[in-house]
Structure 1
């Protein structure tokens, strides 16, 4: 039994791998210390893991990871670089990199290696060579502004301006030009503001370097490095500048520079380049070149890649294309119709401008960008820094989160468990902890992690009166510690602690056969649950008396107090959390059991391997059901993380992955949302989309909820913008084809009613400006996040927008017909006892109706499938909408009598009945209730029959466990 116990203990302790693929020893290493989790791949001795590492490095290359350069402002050329770098680099001499001789006999380099630089000398060199930063490839401000003038929507306005110039309508052309540049200015402001927000967040992730200054190593901003500095390069860290290795050797990943998949070993005297990453080892190195003078600085332009188009950008492009095609078609039909009726080319073109302007959702990109930027700030307050704005959209749709165990699900800190088997009557966990402390140097700082664990749990004050006569530290040959102590009463005895199979051999096997058997059984049972044990024994009667086994102390890296509730919260929001850990299978299962994550934790050894070229195997999807059905994987190598993510993504899941090590980079890069946890290496942070500044899973789940809130805001706005555009575009199109105001002109009218209905361009632009100006406040709106992963469904968007816009345009057409027919004694207007309207009043009525309907449509679109009152809007949105509605009402009432674009127009309050605007408001509110009810009904219909796949989400599809041979 004892041997079985020993075997079990070895299976749990020795040779286990944590989730980063690192090896952990049993209870003690050869120095007598409890083996700790290491961030160094150099600890990995296993041949299989070496081969896995090679394949992982290939995956780094195939995943196109620009390690440490994608989001590190002071090292890369991304958005996070500090502003104003051109001036800084103007100081740096464009000569070849400074060369530092590495000859040991060179007294100068020997001095640099032993002492580093002084602060005074470093300051002088910083002035000479400039900051250790690369020139950022930033667009000039003028180009950013110019881009706002040739986007798809501004091009439509340019077309309208050209038409106005062609027909010599100079006032309208001036108005359109003013609107064009006002919109470009607003768009420029919001674009640069969003970019600055992301840059500011990235700046908080700026890399640090460990530098020897004034004879001491300290952590400092890597941008302050200068040639001659002595730096410490360690596993997982980015190489902050071109450096010469001063001692030992390190393995370096240079994929970002050379495309080489495998790590390159650098020996003393070799030059390691900025932009590479240390994957194994730790050395001191002397900086030989910084900033633009580095190898990477001279070739950075060759290493940059194009920006990936996000799903949101693709969606907006498709929406714009649809609206532009629809607008062009309707404009062409209307133009031909008017010419066919005998209208002049000038009049037909004038109306075409109206349709063009009505079809332009000017601020659609501005509002979406602003909403994402505001969301990134909100996430940063919750401890999640976004390096890619589109990651917010991806996180909103995430349905599976692959989370590492140690530090994320657990505390990353071994703790004594309440479960304490006792074998001597009268002893308790309290006394057992005291005995364990006596088997250590309790009057001195803890010598290893195990002593730290015991000292932290035991009542150390109660040992003050106890004298330690002798102490035997841990020795690899006996694998235990022993203390000889004397109580105040004079009683003397020995206490020993160590692995159970070692301590059990101290006691008399025949006398204590039952105790040994029970201990063996307890250790085995605990081992099956992944719980580690520490046995404590003492001599009885005297220091030379027989040994007796007191009991077992059990310890485990426990789950965080909030992890279980957080996982349940994630499940409620349609996100399945899978545990992906390098730790032992039994430990992973016990953690999963405590967290109610399920028991289908599998050994990652059953998964396939990467191909020799670093690509996923062709039969990867044969394992998809297996991967999908499990609660997680244990004993995972980095390449397994990559394969798990790849399989889930191919299977239709939007997948998130957490990681912290350099070898996690391929999986982080490949995942839809790569999350670098708190304390991650530079490589992991560079590959991730989101970097956490707080520990635990709760930060990630909070970020998911915030992301869905942001997604909801964008969905509301896009739905509204499509609806508003359809209302205006189709309203004027139908009106020109079906309404002929001249036929309704009353006898004796003081003004000539036009042959076809259209609105002054100035009024249309006022509607657009007030609406779009108000919509920027939607970034602060209250939104109830969906409990299922979000996704873009263009068909549903256009269907709901079509219903909202359709009800609005039909109500506008009805009002227009009633107003035109107001002089008919048998008409609705006259039957209500109201006086006939002038055409100027009709123009202002339609302007007010369309304006108010647009604003009310926003409040319908923002409530999703529910009625508008089910979701309280934010105060900012209410105030903004209130101001816009008030301005629209004031202008509709106070408009001076005039003929803009030849259309008679007069303020509603200038002629009787002066309360006409009140009637329009009441009509708009009644139509709004009908519009909202129609929206709710259509949503219910779509969901009932799953039309357009509105209910199709990929989330929590837990299949039955699949056995893999």
Structure 2
């Protein structure tokens, strides 16, 4: 077995806790929203927040021992040492003893512990030893593997950790060390700078800068705010984003949740821009106080978790029925009720899939490690199964189908003629806006020649800005040139800008915007769209220099100046990736807020055959019933709002699809959370990364396709174990019932049965490393727990046929038909039982002919080979007496290959029949 792969495999185990803990804030808010948890703010925190809300800026800075320019690094470090990291209690690593308890605490270990206690009380020390060994090995192995993975999990978590923009004052090292704190304010030779700081390193007194898409990292008091809207539904119950202000408008408000200048950890900025000072971090925040009162913060069980639970309880119920039957049959037929009890307990252990938790965890962890090498970071291990089950992928257009490198292709007047004036206006808008700078702004700002000509730092002064939001789909800045007038420059989506324009500039002339001109303008922009260009309209108006604060009401009666048109070429990898996804049963649907003409052209260029385009306005008019039908027949959706995207995803899920959604913007967050599997990228806004289950380090559908295949491999290997366990256990118990009814002694002693079960379980530890047939990767795979029961009924009795054949062989051929010769009988069945159980691993791991058409991976081949060798060695070697076995006659080994070959042949024939009738998952 490759040692490096083993190390990486071990390193992945703690992902299920350590990485997931960092991203549970939204899950906690979901829990709060769905339960009756009290949202009352603790009194001490409430007093602090109210006092901060009512204080003026200077008093607030004094209270927090900070400055308008923020803290210096030395001050921040000193405060951090005193108050700790900005992490809520639930997110901290578990202490080792609690971690050990969680590794132990599962239904199977608890059941085995009960059986060990019963064995001890009945003085069956050998059975007690074997059962205890199984429990201790399972628990310690899991604990050791998860503990070993701490460092790797932290490294993966750091790759997708969120940061905040913080103001840091620069103070000379000597001054920071020697001067008192109040001198620190004076001795900073450089102006404050904006730096990115991990959320956990923030401290009270830090001044942070916020824009659309940012998570609120702590409880804060606003210092400045410009059209700031915050989503805090889980905190206050308000479904719509609420506007926040720098000044407290209601001085009589006493509830912190009513303070409109206070921001809470865990909420997020929908639109606008702001600066705020942190009041409280970690457990001292409102969010932290809630986290300490909520014990169950995990999300609702996924389809995968529900499937594992159903299979587990199916086997447990089966055990509770079969074990008493074995007890009563043996008790009445043999007369030794104590021996019958011990044997029934051993049967119960044999029916218990005690390795299921470890096999599932290890298979998922191995998948996570392999995906991390392919630039896919898994935040929740259970998401891997959904990755493999996904049959519909909804994705945005920019950066996924296209290169995510936008070029400014054209800058024209309203009639499509080149215009430098439009470029200059667009440049000023992008240069002075402080909100979320997107790729369009970056493309405009790359025109350094315009910067040199305009020299905005010297010739212009920014007066104010009206930030972007997803309802208006435009933003404006107000600048002053030579202080004789103010110029409002608006840039945004064509229709949204046209809605606030009343005039059109043509050359030096300005004309009213008539219906005829409007139709002509739309024709010009449509022609640009059909060339694959994304068109952004630019409008402006002159204003007298009478005020310094502007708002949404000022965006009216504008003059349309022209357009800037951008080209975002399709990626070369997109077409083959779409083809590969289609070949693997994943249909791709494009959900974008962009223009339908641009979207259609990109789809044509990447080979995505359009099955109809649906616009956001059409979705608004549809009922859920109508939309549920339309989402099946259309694969391109344009001009969508965030609510439209979320609604489409929900309709697809309601139709029975396993839906993945890939997005990176704040407008994608609702859909990411609604999808079965949310997929984002490491460069996404905070709220998108928080809502996603999987983070891509490379925004590519090809990477996604590799993730889908790995998800299916992971799922297939887990399903192998469950099928093997279910069918093998069923067959063994059926054989035990037959033997108990007709044989005057126990067909196998409790110690032998437990040893056989332990060896069989060990043989399956290598299943996570097994190969998966290519055919099983072609289609999405999902949990169907009912199939496991049917599979168990079809394949379990096959082993019973050969068990009974072995009974007959030992009884009539070898004369093991008396109590005096029971050891020979038990030895013969011990070997056949263990070898057939081990062979079932190879028979059921593939629908093909094992060893010929499909070979297991080397680790699994080696492990099963070793266990089969041990199974033969125990009765034939020096340990036979300890296990109450005896050496088998040479003639036995003539019959043994015949039994095994016949068993494999009949199992293969049953596989062919089963596949024709039910298929093979």
Is the TM-score greater than 0.5? yes
C-alpha separation in 1, matches of 2:522 and 2:214: 44
- Residue 180 of structure 1 deviates from its aligned partner by 3.1
- Residue 711 of structure 1 deviates from its aligned partner by 0.7
C-alpha separation in 2, matches of 1:607 and 1:553: 27
The one of 886, 911, 917 equivalent to 1:906 is: 886
Residues 1:885 and 2:885 aligned together: no
C-alpha separation in 2, matches of 1:146 and 1:367: 18
The one of 209, 223, 228 equivalent to 1:246 is: 223
The one of 735, 739, 742 equivalent to 1:735 is: 739
CA deviation map 1:219-251 (0-9, x unaligned)? 121222222222111111111122221123322
The one of 645, 648, 651 equivalent to 2:649 is: 645
Aligned to 1:186: 141
C-alpha separation in 1, matches of 2:80 and 2:272: 29
Q: Which has the higher helix share?
A: 2
C-alpha separation in 2, matches of 1:271 and 1:345: 72
Residues 1:771 and 2:760 aligned together: yes
Aligned to 2:212: 235
Moved more, 110-119 or 846-855: 110-119
- Residue 558 of structure 1 deviates from its aligned partner by 1.5
Aligned to 1:810: 801
The answer (yes or no) to whether the contact 1:197–1:377 under 8 Å persists in 2 is no
C-alpha separation in 1, matches of 2:738 and 2:350: 13
Structure 1 pair 622/379, CA: closer, same or farther in 2 (3 Å)? same
Unpaired segments ≥5 residues, structure 1: 1-68, 80-92, 419-432, 461-467, 476-498, 507-518, 535-551, 611-616, 741-754, 830-836, 944-949, 952-965
- Residue 920 of structure 1 deviates from its aligned partner by 2.7
The one of 573, 578, 584 equivalent to 1:567 is: 578
The one of 110, 124, 128 equivalent to 1:173 is: 128
Structure 1 pair 196/708, CA: closer, same or farther in 2 (3 Å)? farther
The answer (yes or no) to whether the contact 1:357–1:765 under 8 Å persists in 2 is yes
Q: Over aligned residue pairs, what C-alpha RMSD do you find?
A: 4.5
Moved more, 561-570 or 317-326: 317-326
Aligned to 1:626: 630
Aligned to 2:238: 260
The answer (yes or no) to whether the contact 1:74–1:223 under 8 Å persists in 2 is no
Residues 1:208 and 2:163 aligned together: yes
Residues 1:218 and 2:195 aligned together: yes
Query: What is the TM-score of this pair, normalised by structure 2?
Result: 0.72
Structure 1 pair 709/759, CA: closer, same or farther in 2 (3 Å)? same
Aligned to 2:912: 936
The one of 836, 846, 851 equivalent to 1:853 is: 836
Residues 1:676 and 2:684 aligned together: no
The answer (yes or no) to whether the contact 2:677–2:693 under 8 Å persists in 1 is yes
CA deviation map 1:239-267 (0-9, x unaligned)? 11222211233222222333322222222
C-alpha separation in 1, matches of 2:98 and 2:793: 36
Aligned to 2:593: 582
Residues 1:103 and 2:80 aligned together: no
Structure 1 pair 736/148, CA: closer, same or farther in 2 (3 Å)? farther
Structure 1 pair 243/417, CA: closer, same or farther in 2 (3 Å)? closer
Residues 1:760 and 2:710 aligned together: no
C-alpha separation in 2, matches of 1:707 and 1:821: 51
Aligned to 1:296: 287
- Residue 653 of structure 1 deviates from its aligned partner by 1.0
C-alpha separation in 2, matches of 1:851 and 1:802: 20
Aligned to 1:787: 778
The one of 76, 84, 88 equivalent to 1:130 is: 84
CA deviation map 1:301-329 (0-9, x unaligned)? 34663542233332233223332333333
Structure 1 pair 521/658, CA: closer, same or farther in 2 (3 Å)? closer
C-alpha separation in 2, matches of 1:106 and 1:932: 81
Q: Which has the larger radius of gyration?
A: 1
Structure 1 pair 361/601, CA: closer, same or farther in 2 (3 Å)? same
Aligned to 2:896: 920
Query: What is the TM-score of this pair, normalised by structure 1?
Result: 0.69
CA deviation map 1:641-667 (0-9, x unaligned)? 111011111111111112223342221
Give SS of 1:115's match: coil
Give SS of 1:653's match: coil
Residues 1:693 and 2:693 aligned together: no
The answer (yes or no) to whether the contact 1:563–1:595 under 8 Å persists in 2 is yes
- Residue 505 of structure 1 deviates from its aligned partner by 7.8
The answer (yes or no) to whether the contact 2:204–2:280 under 8 Å persists in 1 is yes
The answer (yes or no) to whether the contact 1:351–1:758 under 8 Å persists in 2 is no
The one of 818, 823, 846 equivalent to 1:840 is: 823
C-alpha separation in 2, matches of 1:932 and 1:165: 42
C-alpha separation in 1, matches of 2:154 and 2:65: 39
CA deviation map 1:538-572 (0-9, x unaligned)? xxxxxxxxxxxxxx999631111111111111111
Residues 1:602 and 2:613 aligned together: yes
Structure 1 pair 325/396, CA: closer, same or farther in 2 (3 Å)? same
The answer (yes or no) to whether the contact 2:584–2:778 under 8 Å persists in 1 is yes
Give SS of 1:790's match: coil
The answer (yes or no) to whether the contact 1:244–1:285 under 8 Å persists in 2 is yes
Higher RCO (Cα < 8 Å, 6 or more apart): 1
Residues 1:368 and 2:368 aligned together: no
Unpaired segments ≥5 residues, structure 2: 1-18, 30-43, 171-191, 248-260, 411-416, 432-438, 460-493, 495-503, 509-520, 537-562
CA deviation map 1:462-490 (0-9, x unaligned)? xxxxxx9x989999xxxxxxxxxxxxxxx
CA deviation map 1:308-355 (0-9, x unaligned)? 223333223322333233333333333333343362322332332332
Residues 1:661 and 2:672 aligned together: no
Give SS of 2:343's match: helix
CA deviation map 1:824-882 (0-9, x unaligned)? 7xx9x9xxxxxxx9643432222121112112111111113565533332222222222
- Residue 385 of structure 1 deviates from its aligned partner by 1.7
Structure 1 pair 574/336, CA: closer, same or farther in 2 (3 Å)? same
Aligned residues: 752
Give SS of 1:938's match: helix
Structure 1 pair 71/643, CA: closer, same or farther in 2 (3 Å)? farther
Give SS of 1:265's match: strand
